[in-house]
């Protein structure tokens, strides 16, 4: 009797382990790079927000955001996007920047941005969040070019080699520390 009870319990545990391991889990990109300053995360974010990696499958190619971009966004952002929902990651098309000035601003002084940011937490419930987000205002000039990754400088900008008309933009970036360095958790883009 004891042997059959032991085998039954072992079978149930084995079945539970297999179901847990093979269950339908949302795949998210696991970070490999930690940014020790908000400025480094912002530079990676703006430099690679419009760059995509091409993945080959049976029906041809499809695109996903570049790994460099994924390194700069929060786990919440990556979780919200999931493996198949990359079109949800970018609220608006942000131009590639030729130059910018960056300054930290007071979070509570930006009522509209604060409301949009707080509202974004409704999309993923029970997410532990940084209670002291830092907000940066980026004022820059850019264009809708599609540069090669090799053209992106360390600060996230590219050189305007073709004298393209520069569009003035403002981007508010909410930066948080998730314990593994700084990442972008939200942004709001507008033209000047």
Whole-angstrom distance, CA of residue 159 vs CA of residue 99: 8
Whole-angstrom distance, CA of residue 90 vs CA of residue 79: 14
CB contact at 8 A, 158 and 96: yes
Average pLDDT, integer, range 144-171: 87
- What does the pLDDT read at residue 26? 47
Residue-averaged pLDDT of the chain? 81
- What does the pLDDT read at residue 24? 47
Task: Indicate if the pLDDT at residue 28 is higher than 70.
Answer: no
Question: Regarding predicted confidence, which is higher, 85 or 48?
Answer: 48
In the chain, what are the domain boundaries? Answer: 27-191
Sequence-distant (6+) residues with CB within 8 A of 138 are: 42, 46, 97, 100, 101, 102, 169, 170, 171, 172, 173
Q: Give φ, ψ of 136 to 5 degrees.
A: -120, 140
Tell me the CB-side half-sphere exposure of residue 30, using CA atoms within 13 A. Answer: 1
- pLDDT tens for residues 134-150? 999 999 998 887 778 88
- What does the pLDDT read at residue 90? 53
pTM (two decimals): 0.77
- What does the pLDDT read at residue 132? 84
Question: Regarding predicted confidence, which is higher, 18 or 157?
Answer: 157
């Amino acid at each position: 009797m004891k042997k059959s009870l032991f085998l039954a319990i072992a079978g149930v545990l084995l079945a539970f382990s297999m179901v847990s391991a093979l269950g339908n889990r949302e795949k998210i990109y696991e970070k490999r790079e930690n940014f020790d300053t908000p400025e480094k995360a912002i530079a990676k974010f703006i430099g690679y927000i419009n760059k995509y990696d091409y993945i080959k499958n049976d029906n041809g190619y499809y695109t996903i955001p570049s790994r460099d971009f994924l390194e700069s966004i929060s786990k919440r952002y990556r979780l919200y996007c999931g493996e198949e929902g990359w079109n949800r990651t970018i609220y608006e098309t942000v131009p590639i920047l030729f130059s910018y000035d960056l300054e930290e601003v007071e979070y509570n002084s930006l009522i509209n941005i604060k409301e949009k940011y707080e509202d974004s937490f409704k999309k993923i419930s029970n997410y532990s969040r940084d209670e002291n987000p830092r907000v940066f205002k980026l004022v820059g000039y850019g264009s809708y070019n599609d540069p090669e990754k090799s053209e992106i400088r360390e600060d996230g900008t590219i050189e305007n080699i073709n004298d393209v008309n520069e569009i003035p933009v403002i981007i508010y970036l909410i930066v948080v520390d998730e314990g593994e360095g700084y990442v972008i958790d939200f942004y709001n883009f507008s033209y000047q």
